Structure 1
Amino acid sequence: MMAPNQLFLTFDVTSLVPPRPPFQHSLKEELIFMVTDIAEEDDGQFAIWGVSGSGSSVLVTATGFQPYLYVAAPSPVRDPVAPSGQVAQSELPDALCQRLNQALPPDARLDSVESCRRTPLLYYRPADSSAEGAPFLKFVLRPGASLRRLAGALPGLLQSAAVLELGWRFEDTTLFEADVSLLQRFLADVPLSGGAWIALPPAPKSKAGYTAVKEPRSTCDVEVTSAWQAITCLTPDALQLADAAWSPLDAARVPLRQTEAVRSAQAAAGAGAIAPLRTCILDVLCAPADGADRVPIPGHGDPIVAISCLASSALLPSDKDAGVAGDEEVIAVDDGVTEDADLEGGDGSLEEDAENGGQAAALVALRPDGPTSTRSQAASTALHPGYAADYISASAREGASTARVCWSMTQETAMLGDFLQYVRALDPDVLAVFGASDVFAPLIERCAALRIEGGGLLLGRGRAGGALARPLALKRVTMYSASWVRSQSRMSSTSNQETFRAECPGRLVVDVLRQVLTGQNLATFSLVDCVQSILGRTLEVLRPWRLAGLLKGGSGCGVRENDDDNDANDDGEIHTSSTPVRGVKKQPKTTDPPNAASLLRVARYCAQRAASVRALLVRLATVPELVEMARATGLTLTQTAYQAQMIRTHSLLLRAAARAGYAVPGRQDPVQLAEHTFILHPLEHRTAGLHRDAVAILDFASLYPSIYRAHNLCYTTLLHPNDRDKVAPEDVTVTPTGSLFVKPTVRAGVLPQILAALITARAATREALKSATDPGQRAVLDGRQRALKVTANALYGFTGAQTSPLQCAPMADACLAYGARSCRAALAVVERIGRAAELGPASAGARVIYGHTDSMFVLLPACSAPAEAVGMGKAIAARVTDEFPEPMKLQFERVCRPLLLVHVNRYAGRAYDKPDGTPSLLVKGLVSMWRQAAPIVRTTVQGVLRRVIMDGDPESAARFVEAEARRLLSGQVSLHELIMTQGLWRVTGEQVEAAAALEAGAASPGTPGRGAPPPGSPASPADIRGPHVSLAVRLSQRDAGRSFVLGERLPYVLLAGAAKQDDAAEDPLWALRTRQRPNVLLYWKNKLVRPLSEILGHCLTPARLQVRAQSVESAVGVVCLLTWVVWQ
């Protein structure tokens, strides 16, 4: 339990809320806004949250949506025993609907059955190839009915005697589009997406238009209800972007007036405009109640001691953000305090609480971008609790708005209450955090423990007592389950990651950590590491026990000698306890309260963390990339952020199929692919080594998408095995695997059309990006072209993966086989050019020394200079391209001279992109690029590569290795240089805790250990192996608050004295504190010898290796290295 009489510093934060622009909207005008979230509700309703162009919050309740599925139409019963009372074909839908509803459960009953024409997406069948499609029945459910339950019951009912009595027989009861979720169906049918601009006509102008709600259930500025058919999406998806003639008004189910507002919104939507999203960046700090050196456990009584709320509306890069994002001087925690600030004394409670010497908690509310401010400015200041002040009337610096800040000393309950009050008063559209679990889990646990507002973290936009007033919820999200990864041999080293998704009604929660995990290749992913790697800045770290010490009074416990350097600043913001703050009346002396410097340091620390999250948010263009991916693929923003690539392709396929009149089948039985990618192995073909002649690297541009387009590969063009003799040979393409696909003259495939649209839209976006000058607009366009590229490249994986909603093994195998054949054909062309010197003397002797999937490395021994090699590489690429059908194209990427080819996907070279370009060191796949390798390994290998590749001096590289070996083996390296990292890809945090509990029980039988193992699937002893996993178990035993998640990367060092490497792994901080020695010999033998041997073995002749070995006396490790190479 938390110690009694603890102090918490809170603010009356209502005056800190930046004013929202006045709400202006007439119910007689079209309602236009940008969608931020779409949530499925009961009875066919959807809650559509958004923000208008003026910044007003909007909630539209879309009603009346009905799910449906398709079944091929039945045929009449013609045999003599057929019932005499056959229902006429025109009456069949109604009769069938009535008959089925008699047998269906109440929550799966039909609203109607409609006759329509559709073409099955899978297979080309000549009998069903008419332009109108085949006859189908569309089974439409009642609003709110269960499509899943209908799909389970319908096939059996359609073949029942009750249906047969109608005089019709269903020969095929295959269900189409039965496994499409209700949200996906809604998004595809409207159409709609997160980040899209939509328009609704008012009810006076249209019967289906929107109307204001009588009893609002949210706190939004605008809340209306409307039939879903009235929604018109003004933002094009990826398929519509490529259609210059597309207009959203042409597809509107309910006509919109051509007003100036509608036309302006349509233009803005096409340009990718993003509404002014009000954002609150949150950060939470906890401290142990007992001040011990351990991880706080909020659920066990450790309090939250600081909450930082950074209000912002700038989520797009701007000129002022360049180079200064996250700078310390931008954070002015004590902004606005003047000498004539009016202060009045309190009622004495502050002095009484301060005498108890407990902890203090600061809620820091910042406002970095006011209406006229160009710098980040704080609207709050943490002051010495002895300087009791009920309020401070502070006039801000020039350019900032004034603020009236009230202070009070109270308990943690008041601080959390003020926090909730501030967020709701601010009413942000976006809550941005770094690590949703780290921020929201403590808030959820403390609100529950202290019963704040009933115990739930109510941060949403639902009105109190209503259905939308749901507490914020955290849900686990994993890329793959740990058990599935363990079952896949090819997944043994694949990155796997568990994150947390926060659901807050009416507010979009953006987790910057999620984007960093999926988009950045870092060794570890703490906020400090991300700020260092991405922003190039350092961020102070205050451990929880240090925070507890600072807030208890004085400078804290166990302060480092250089800590005082961080407590002062040249701007005079921090004051010692003996120096009164300007304008503050001196209060009676208290007993060891937290001094002003300590409180301001904590406040500044909170502010810096929040500002760093904002800087990452802007630098990574998190919101523009998220919005553009959602717009392009037709998903919600949450789906885009947390769901895999499959759903993006499936969404586009649903839209394209519906527009072309196709019915999409359900999930197919998974099949293992038979084909493989092309590889010309450098070891098998004896081409590995140091190539001093120029090597041109050529790549097929989007090989697999190009193959789909060039050969018309699609679900819709795959010829059914039973129809092989029903199509003329000249109308069929025979693939290398033997599968047959009809040519575009017979039927154009849907997938090639999707790919063509994506590539066309991306080309247009990149052209617009070249001329864009505004940083915000550039971020939007760059996010769009990235989204289009990623979506196009993921299409092959969608058709071939066993986990795909619509795997098609014949098509995926055909694509792989075409890719391998294309590479072999390109290799043959290059060899022919080299033998005959077809492109001039400089092409003589050209040959391929390495190839993999879509790239090939062409050795050009006759090119005397890099510039000549660049020209020849481009000429060879053009000649090879002529041998392939459009749009397949082999492109020149770069020339390397020399090139060190070590293995598949492992090489280094001095790269030239242009004839007159400056060379750079290109390294791929070698240890120097491995994020898990220790810095000493990376820097040593990189130093060798630079000397060998860039300087052309292998002898210098050997001497460098000797020097690094002496430095390492003599213990002259810092512990930082020995830190390695590895991820918990195959073991969950629960399994680590269970292993820790079992080991603790085995170590101390009969005595209570860590407690009972947590629930969940146990890990076998074989899974709890590896240095990082063993370390995770030990760390969990040391500190009950230390928890892990699937995929978390652990830093560790290898220490001396352990028999096994698993036991040698230790936390770097622990090793530093306990002054334990690293096992430098283990680093040398196990981490450095092999990668260095691979490089030097190719760069030095055996004779030189022997000479080097004989000349080395003191560097024993180098002798071992050279001997190892010789014996290879």
Structure 2
Amino acid sequence: MTLNTCTPILGAHVFSFEREDQLLTAFKDFIIAADPDILTGYNIMNFDIPYLYNRARSLGLTEAHKIGRIRDKPMTVRKSNFHSNQHGNRETHDISIDGRVMIDMLTVMQNEHRMSSYSLNSVSQHFLGSQKEDVHWSIISDLQEKDAESRQRLAVYCLKDALLPLLLMDKLKVVVNFTELSRVTSVPMSYLSIRGQQIRVISLLYRYANKKHMIVPCLKNQITEEKYQGATVIEPQRGFYPDPVVTLDFSSLYPSIMICHNLCYSTLLHPEAASKLDKDDYNRTPTGNFFIKSHLHKGLLPEILEWLLAARKRTRKELAEATDPMNKLVLNGRQLAFKVTANTVYGFTGAQVGRLPCLEISRSVTAYGRQMIDRTKSIVEDRYTTANGYGTNAVVIYGDTDSVMINFGIKDLPTAMARGKEAADLVTSVFNSPPIKLEFEKVYWPYLLISKKRYAGLFWTKTDKFDKIDTKGIETVRRDNCAMVRLVYETCLQKILVERDIEGAQSFTKQIISDLLQNKIDLSLLLISKQLTRSAEQYENKQPHVELAKRMKERDGSGPGIGDRVFYVIVEGPKNAKAYEKSEDPQFVMDRGLSIDTDYYLNQQLAKPLERLFKPIMGDGFKSLLNGEHTRVIRKPSKVTAQATGMLQFVGVVRTCINCKARMGKDEQGAVCTKCKPKEPELFMDAQRSASRAEEQYSQVHAQCQRCSMSMHQPFLCSSRDCPLFYFRTKAKKDLEDCYELLKRFGSPCVFPDESSSP
């Protein structure tokens, strides 16, 4: 549906309207006729729906608001603030459209997946291998006002903008998972993306309290400043372990502790009340709190957790036996719903801003957990020793919250797995506290232990083939690191863990540093991005992305706006200049041929991650990667040679021979001097071959962008700066232009290809 005329679009029905009120009314009628159960899109809760709502209000179209299933009842839109410990503060909109569930795929992605960028292009490329032709908001008005063909561009953009969230929803089985989670927790589906975890637990409490004829106090959200000690993290023995490292994991540790010790609001005792009971009737937790034992009164939270864990166990059994693909999806979504909800209950009791905070429960849970991890370490290390007839002494090299990593000193994988299962059964029998159970989970072989909550290993659950490379706390998804850091980490981990080639990882790192210092790294790998969350005046300290946004607006008035991600690189500047003084727009850098500050990328971006990666393996020898011979002997190229991709450095006021670099006289024409004239045919063929390679590269990237944007018969205007091809396409174009300029010096006419046609 378009305002004013629009060129026809293959595969779509285009409806054009002369007035905006006609368009909005037709859109309302379309929704009523289609009668969807679910409305979805990308950022629809904070942009699309509020925008349509406000436009209808501005035009006085009260009927356009009535898109729900209750006749003559309009939708409501109001601003609100959402807060959770997991996601922090977030300004959003409360939207009510009766009878229709709204699932904003942006919110789903932010809640369920950790990614370096949450733009629709980036997410779609990651999960679908597809993108849209991104049209920057600053040119939308111009395209709308121009003509029918430019409005077709907008329409194609909007069509794919609506299609991609649907494909994402199907690919990630969002509806299936949300349906099952809604059934498990008894909350509306829309709450699962716009509300936090607490609403799910309070809903279950209401359900079980009603069965017991108990009343849950209705309190406003309470804020408690009191804190408690968290989980135990055993001090890691940093290093690289080429032998199998066994990981033992307590199955649903915190829910099991709450069930075992009957920890609940309804079982909490005041010390005076506990003194009047027999000692066999209550538990005294390590934190000095008292709870009635289950034979006198079963707590609501333990009952809820027992049901969740038992239901998950049954569902997983059904999943293993299922054959129908759709049934498997439903069962998998259900077992995940049980798991997520069970793990939420403990956090609900310890939330500092919560409906029913009870630190007596949460700190008792973590105290029991600390005891169990420490005792597990002692049991394993005391049992598996040379004194007891084992080949080596077992060492717990790391432990965190509910798991321990053990180096038994065993060389082969099957024996290590068998020993792990034996140790898990031993610890479980010593505790003898059902449902608490220590299980053999996996083996890391090899294993790189960097520091607390930072490690990487090759994940094995079967002896014939590894499952994946498992990482935690590694610099692969942080958005304040450039893509070069992620490339180095991912490649080195592949070489170290899968290929067992530590020297190869070092050589690759040295080559990357060498290429960086010679300005051979593609610009797309050096991009850094940060979001502009407020106006420049509201930032207390100067930051690179903020200062760049100000400079871009001063240049042409089209700088990034609030809410946009600012992509920048650090260029060379005066000595001791701050990073915010050297941040620059990548497109501006390419157009002006500016030099990258390679020292910044080496020392500020690569140095610390490389230290964390290689120090456990090489010790202080890792410093040779940063200041070894491969860096000392490299002469940093000048500004021109660093950026020129063809022979344009010889075109200008002083004309030089492309072969001997000698200055050419006024009477000398063409590309070479008189002395090098005999070599002109050979040099011309070299230039033609370079142009052919540049044409092929430009054609490939141009065709890829056209396929991605569905714009096979018109020029595209992609502004997706988080796509690696965005700058690569510009570089390919510039390389081809440079090659053509060189051929022109030989007298060969060259015409740059028309971007409106397929190469």
Q: TM-score, normalised by structure 1?
A: 0.52
Matches within 5 A, 1:565-604: 594=148, 602-604=154-156
| TM-superposed deviation, 1:856 | 1.1
Residue 500 of structure 2 is matched in structure 1 by: 952
Partner of residue 657 from structure 1, selected from 209, 219, 226:
209
User: Aligned AA for 2:521?
Assistant: V
User: Aligned AA for 1:473?
Assistant: V
The answer as to 2:24 corresponding to 1:416 is yes
* Cα separation, 1, equivalents of 2:488 and 2:557: 36
| TM-superposed deviation, 1:1113 | 5.2
CA separation of 1:1107 and 1:725: change in aligned 2, threshold 3 A: closer
Partner of residue 231 from structure 2, selected from 657, 672, 677:
677
Residue 506 of structure 1 is matched in structure 2 by: 99
| TM-superposed deviation, 1:1109 | 5.7
Could you tell me whether the CA contact under 8 Å between 2:231 and 2:370 is conserved in 1?
Answer: yes
* Cα separation, 2, equivalents of 1:867 and 1:632: 39
* Cα separation, 2, equivalents of 1:894 and 1:1117: 48
Residue 163 of structure 2 is matched in structure 1 by: 611
| TM-superposed deviation, 1:548 | 5.8
SS of 1:744's partner is: coil
* Cα separation, 2, equivalents of 1:931 and 1:544: 23
User: Aligned AA for 1:870?
Assistant: M
| TM-superposed deviation, 1:823 | 0.3
Structure 2: any 5+ residue segments left out of the alignment?
Answer: 637-759
* Cα separation, 2, equivalents of 1:650 and 1:447: 37
Partner of residue 249 from structure 2, selected from 699, 702, 712:
699
Could you tell me whether the CA contact under 8 Å between 2:223 and 2:353 is conserved in 1?
Answer: no
Could you tell me whether the CA contact under 8 Å between 2:381 and 2:394 is conserved in 1?
Answer: yes
* Cα separation, 2, equivalents of 1:835 and 1:906: 28
SS of 1:928's partner is: coil
* Cα separation, 2, equivalents of 1:669 and 1:968: 50
Partner of residue 108 from structure 2, selected from 496, 503, 515:
515
Could you tell me whether the CA contact under 8 Å between 2:550 and 2:559 is conserved in 1?
Answer: no
The answer as to 2:464 corresponding to 1:910 is no
* Cα separation, 2, equivalents of 1:509 and 1:604: 23
* Cα separation, 1, equivalents of 2:585 and 2:336: 38
User: Which 10-residue stretch deviates more, 1053-1062 or 931-940?
Assistant: 1053-1062
User: Aligned AA for 1:459?
Assistant: I
- Deviations, residues 159-198 of structure 1 (Å, cap 9, x unaligned): xxxxxxxxxxxxxxxxxxxxxxxxxxxxxxxxxxxxxxxx
| TM-superposed deviation, 1:887 | 0.9
* Cα separation, 2, equivalents of 1:1113 and 1:728: 74
Matches within 5 A, 1:159-558: 360=5, 378=11, 380-381=13-14, 410-436=18-44, 437-449=46-58, 451=59, 453-454=61-62, 457-464=65-72, 468=73, 470-479=74-83, 497-544=90-137
Residue 754 of structure 1 is matched in structure 2 by: 304
| TM-superposed deviation, 1:821 | 0.2
* Cα separation, 2, equivalents of 1:1072 and 1:653: 60
Percentage of identical aligned residues: 31
Residue 968 of structure 1 is matched in structure 2 by: 516
The answer as to 2:575 corresponding to 1:1060 is no
- Deviations, residues 821-860 of structure 1 (Å, cap 9, x unaligned): 000110001111222565x635x31111111111111112
Could you tell me whether the CA contact under 8 Å between 1:675 and 1:816 is conserved in 2?
Answer: yes
* Cα separation, 2, equivalents of 1:1106 and 1:1036: 43
Residue 624 of structure 1 is matched in structure 2 by: 176
Residue 424 of structure 2 is matched in structure 1 by: 877
CA separation of 1:1106 and 1:512: change in aligned 2, threshold 3 A: closer
SS of 1:698's partner is: strand
* Cα separation, 2, equivalents of 1:471 and 1:744: 48
Residue 617 of structure 2 is matched in structure 1 by: 1099
| TM-superposed deviation, 1:931 | 4.6
| TM-superposed deviation, 1:724 | 2.4
Could you tell me whether the CA contact under 8 Å between 1:459 and 1:472 is conserved in 2?
Answer: no
Could you tell me whether the CA contact under 8 Å between 1:524 and 1:981 is conserved in 2?
Answer: no
| TM-superposed deviation, 1:1053 | 3.1
* Cα separation, 1, equivalents of 2:122 and 2:406: 39
How many corresponding residue pairs? 629
* Cα separation, 1, equivalents of 2:561 and 2:321: 49
Matches within 5 A, 1:27-42: none
Could you tell me whether the CA contact under 8 Å between 1:524 and 1:1050 is conserved in 2?
Answer: no
CA separation of 1:845 and 1:931: change in aligned 2, threshold 3 A: farther
- Deviations, residues 440-484 of structure 1 (Å, cap 9, x unaligned): 2432343344x15259644334544xxx2x25525344335xxxx
| TM-superposed deviation, 1:1054 | 3.0
- Deviations, residues 39-72 of structure 1 (Å, cap 9, x unaligned): xxxxxxxxxxxxxxxxxxxxxxxxxxxxxxxxxx
Residue 789 of structure 1 is matched in structure 2 by: 339
SS of 1:1053's partner is: strand
* Cα separation, 2, equivalents of 1:918 and 1:378: 44
SS of 2:316's partner is: helix
* Cα separation, 1, equivalents of 2:88 and 2:598: 28
Matches within 5 A, 1:807-956: 807-835=357-385, 841=390, 844-861=392-409, 863-884=410-431, 885-918=433-466, 920-956=468-504
User: Aligned AA for 1:479?
Assistant: H
| TM-superposed deviation, 1:1074 | 6.2
Could you tell me whether the CA contact under 8 Å between 1:954 and 1:1100 is conserved in 2?
Answer: no
| TM-superposed deviation, 1:780 | 2.9
Residue 1085 of structure 1 is matched in structure 2 by: 603
Could you tell me whether the CA contact under 8 Å between 1:362 and 1:603 is conserved in 2?
Answer: no
* Cα separation, 1, equivalents of 2:225 and 2:139: 56
User: Aligned AA for 1:646?
Assistant: Q
* Cα separation, 1, equivalents of 2:42 and 2:223: 40
* Cα separation, 1, equivalents of 2:309 and 2:608: 43
Q: TM-score, normalised by structure 2?
A: 0.75
| TM-superposed deviation, 1:539 | 2.4
User: Aligned AA for 1:868?
Assistant: T
* Cα separation, 1, equivalents of 2:261 and 2:619: 49
Could you tell me whether the CA contact under 8 Å between 1:363 and 1:415 is conserved in 2?
Answer: no
Could you tell me whether the CA contact under 8 Å between 1:948 and 1:1099 is conserved in 2?
Answer: no
Could you tell me whether the CA contact under 8 Å between 1:1036 and 1:1043 is conserved in 2?
Answer: no
Residue 756 of structure 2 is matched in structure 1 by: none
| TM-superposed deviation, 1:604 | 3.8
* Cα separation, 2, equivalents of 1:530 and 1:677: 33
User: Aligned AA for 1:1085?
Assistant: N
SS of 1:746's partner is: coil
* Cα separation, 2, equivalents of 1:1101 and 1:362: 65
Could you tell me whether the CA contact under 8 Å between 1:923 and 1:929 is conserved in 2?
Answer: no
Could you tell me whether the CA contact under 8 Å between 1:894 and 1:913 is conserved in 2?
Answer: yes
- Deviations, residues 270-326 of structure 1 (Å, cap 9, x unaligned): xxxxxxxxxxxxxxxxxxxxxxxxxxxxxxxxxxx57xxxxxxxxxxxxxxxxxxxx
* Cα separation, 2, equivalents of 1:517 and 1:922: 21
Could you tell me whether the CA contact under 8 Å between 1:965 and 1:1115 is conserved in 2?
Answer: no
Could you tell me whether the CA contact under 8 Å between 1:523 and 1:981 is conserved in 2?
Answer: no
SS of 2:266's partner is: coil
SS of 1:473's partner is: strand
CA separation of 1:946 and 1:798: change in aligned 2, threshold 3 A: same
* Cα separation, 1, equivalents of 2:622 and 2:528: 33
Residue 765 of structure 1 is matched in structure 2 by: 315
Residue 313 of structure 1 is matched in structure 2 by: none
Residue 798 of structure 1 is matched in structure 2 by: 348
Q: More helix by proportion, 1 or 2?
A: 2
